[in-house]
Amino acid sequence: MRVRWITHGQADKLLKQINLPWMVDVCRFALATGARANEILSLTWDNVDEGRKLAWVTSDNSKSGKPRALPLNDDAMSVIADRRGSHRRLVFTRGTDRQISQVDARALNRACEAAGIHDFRFHDFRHTWASWHVQSGTPLFILKELGGWETVEMVKKYAHLNADHLAQHANVVTFWSQQQAEKKKAA
């Protein structure tokens, strides 16, 4: 399984290179929520609860076919505020009345090239979001729920990015350091 992610600095650089305002908003929202392209592009205002900071991915727009809550952090709420009033029904549009059917891969590829980022696709924003969560200590079970994955096995591919949970157990079995500590105690 391919896991490609970028750093915060690379993400900032990439966003500055995208020349389509709607595409910048879609990418910002993806980085803030980990939502899939279809979940973002099909999002309607009636499925956004700004008061509770939630969006609802409907069963017909989710990969699993099951509806789920999409928590909106402050970055996602900023995108929502920026999009407010842009369309009566759809959150993300190109300024027309039609729903966007797919992200603009050419614009993303040009921006990646300009930012010096290689081998990066739109779905990698989801990998980036998940990687950032793991690196910040989000437990895998919580990440599973946040990202709408079916099993913890599906999110284990990110586990190697943060070994902090292992560090607390590393000194459980030692030999030489215990001997040194005992010698110091005796002295």
- Is 126 considered catalytic here? yes
Active-site position among 126, 127, 133, 144: 126
Across the range 62-89, mean pLDDT stands at 91
Instruction: Report the pLDDT value the prediction gives residue 125, as an integer from 0 to 100.
Output: 97
Catalytic position from the list 8, 63, 84, 165? 63
Arithmetic mean of pLDDT, 139-145:
92
63 as an active site residue: the answer is yes
Q: Mark whether 149 is an active-site residue.
A: yes
DSSP string across the chain: -------HHHHHHHHHH---HHHHHHHHHHHHH---HHHHHT-BGGGEETTTTEEEE-TTTSTTSS-EEEE--HHHHHHHHHHTTS-SSBSS-SSSSSPP-S--HHHHHHHHHHHT--S--TTHHHHHHHHHHHHTT--HHHHHHHHT-S-GGGTGGGGGG--HHHHHHHTTS-SHHHHHHHHHHH-
**Residue 158 annotated as catalytic:** yes
Average pLDDT of the chain, as a whole number: 89
160 in catalytic set: no
Active site annotation includes 123: yes
Q: Which domains does the chain have, with CATH numbers?
A: 8-162 (1.10.443.10)
